[in-house]
Amino acid sequence: MQTRRIGPFEVSALGLGCMNLSHAYGTPPARKDAAAVLNGALDAGITLFDTAALYGFGANEELVGELLAMHRERIVLASKCGMHGVDGQRVIDGRPETLRASCEASLKRLRTDVIDLLYLHRLDARVPVEDSVGAMAELVRAGKVRALGLSEVSAATLRRAHAVHPIAALQTEYSLWTRNPEIAVLQACRELGVAFVAFSPLARGFLGGRLRDVATLEPKDIRRAMPRFAPDNYAANLKLLDGFEAEARAMHCAPAALALAWLLHQGEDIIPIPGTTRLAHLHEWLAAPQLTLDAGTLSRLDALINRHTVSGPRYNSATQAEIDTEEFAN
């Protein structure tokens, strides 16, 4: 497995997003299947594991802590604070006292004395980012966290936060069908020396090519509330897959590996963190760091799937109001 840098850490070029194992995409897998995914990632040389207090309202951190504690020195463990479950509801809370308490709870669930990379999961519009990051910086000084990150924030917010404490990583959705980081935040990361961690790099499963009928999604699958997965939009988006899968066949790889290879080619500072509930899917990804895409392939992929060809915004209006990332003008 090739490696890339996040702050003081050398990590695998692909990380593992652990959310799917406990949260958001319908019924979580059985524990043995989740264990197979985590152990398979370790065996494949993946060293960056990404979880959050929100995922399963603590259940994902408990799962990761239980299954990876014996491998703690082999991995870079990332988690998130500032968005968690309260009485069964998702709450954004960036107050310093909340972040301190969240970190303590995460440390216990993860069965570790220190979190390598702690992200502010969402910007709390009621709390200056300087206050939230200032509290997280105190956790670094206390030896409970090694490096700080931000999730779903704008370039301006990144700069404000970085002025308080060095930010090692910024995490935002990035894939062929979500190009928002290209507006400003990628450039800001590069100016400040901040690694870019790409979540949902397979377009929430779309680029894997297996989801053909959104009616099969479970009732609690978060994609049911995402405009791109609304029946009419998804029917239009499916038409993009024929050309994409033809490119994958030409490269003799799975569509998921091609999607990740495209991301890896966007810069040495980009680390995708795909997630899955199935070991077989993880094995499909592993070719991505070894794939070399020539200029013609990159150009065709860019022209095929981009913000102009994809139907529907990535979030509904209520979710969009909660995030700080830049949006393209209509």
Residues marked as catalytic: 55
Q: How many CB atoms are closer than 10 A to CB 153?
A: 27
Q: CA-CA distances (angstroms) from residue 75 to 11, 254, 279?
A: 8, 27, 19
* Rounded (10°) CA dihedral 267, 306, 211, 318: 100
Residue 56, SS3 per DSSP:
helix
Q: How many CB atoms are closer than 10 A to CB 215?
A: 8
DSSP result, 101-120: HHHHHHHHHHT-S-EEEEEE
What is the distance between the alpha carbons of residues 321 and 86, in angstroms, rounded to a whole number? 20
